[in-house]
Homo-oligomer: A and B are copies of this chain.
Amino acid sequence: MKRSNRLVALTNYFLENPRLHKQLPYFVNRLETTKASVSEDMDIIDAVFRNEGLGYLQRTTGAGGGVKYIPEYLHEKSEAFIHEMCHQLADPVRILPGGYLYMSDLLGNPKTVREIGRVFASAFSQMEIDVVVTVATKGIPLAYSVASFLDVPVVIVRRDPKVTEGSSVSINYVSGSSRKIQTMVLPKRSLEEGANVCIIDDFMKAGGTITGMINLLEEFNAQVKAIGVLAEADDEEEERVVENYTSLIKISNVDLKAKSIEVHPGNFVEIGDRK
């Protein structure tokens, strides 16, 4: 295979297999070339990925050494994307009864969902996460997107047990926004004991749902390493019950009568600036 063809094939391979460690002989065989040539190919790919702010190739030498692609978005790229989302969400026609915001169009766009996942996965890149956990329904696409960049599985907490998932662990919790007692269920088979978990959800008000998830995950002795929410409602009347989360967007001062709303970047941007 010629260098030009190898570069296309290798770029495709790395993008399709983030964080998968492979030893050099794998590529030497697959591309029918030499170790030196593959190594030069990787220099080129690494340079372009870094230059475009897409991440980098992590290479290790010695016995068992090899390469894996770490997809880490440049912080400036993440910030630009968040500002663009804020701009789209700030439209007052999005205001719904109850002070909610219509976001289904953004969450229904696979490209937007992919970008959101990339931003969270970049923020949590160094946290050695084993599994992404979300709660049905709207967090699901976001969770899969984050998980695809972290190369880990997704586990979905449900509000109702399903016969197709076998025996389950369930807890009751008080929803922050509705003050109602709700149930959360996780099938026993779905999560290994002691896993390092990243929680992903689309929206957080007081944080009752996420607290419920944390309590349910304690039953599996899981370690919650990171919490990511797309949008948080900044409601001064209610005290936040969750700490140490990362939000991309903050919604405040929703005024149903005046049809006005404020949408700002979430604490993701501040966290990045502190680094």
Q: List 23 A-B contacts (CB under 8 A).
A: A3-B4, A5-B44, A7-B8, A8-B45, A8-B48, A8-B49, A11-B11, A11-B12, A15-B15, A96-B163, A98-B164, A101-B164, A102-B164, A103-B164, A104-B156, A104-B190, A105-B189, A108-B155, A110-B147, A110-B152, A137-B137, A137-B140, A137-B156
CB of A113 closer than 8 Å to a CB of B: yes
The reply to whether B110 and A144 contact each other, CB–CB distance below 8 Å, is: yes
Q: List residues of chain B with CB within 8 A of the CB of A137.
A: 136-137, 140, 156, 158
Q: A8-B7, A48-B9, A137-B158 are in contact. Are A96 and B166 (CB under 8 A)?
A: yes
Whether A104 and B4, one on each chain, are in contact in the complex, defined by CB atoms closer than 8 angstroms, is: no
B141 touches A108 (CB 8 A): no
At the interface, yes or no: A47 with Cβ under 8 Å from chain B? yes
Q: Chain A 141-182, CB within 8 Å of chain B: the 1/0 string?
A: 100100110011111101000011110000000000000000
Is A193 an interface residue when CB atoms closer than 8 A count as contact?
no
Q: Which residues of B contact A163 (CB under 8 A)?
A: 96-98, 100
Contact A54 B11 (CB under 8 A): no
| CB-contacts of A121-137 with B (<8 A) | 136-137
- A187 CB-CB contact with B under 8 Å: yes
Secondary structure type dominating chain A contacts: helix
Within 8 Å of chain B (Cβ to Cβ): is A109? Answer: yes
B148 touches A111 (CB 8 A): yes
> Which B-chain residue is minimally distant from A41 (CB atoms)?
B4
A119 → chain B, closest Cβ, in Å?
15
Residue of B nearest to A46 (CB): B8
Beyond A158-B137, A164-B96, is A189–B11 a contact (Cβ under 8 Å)?
no
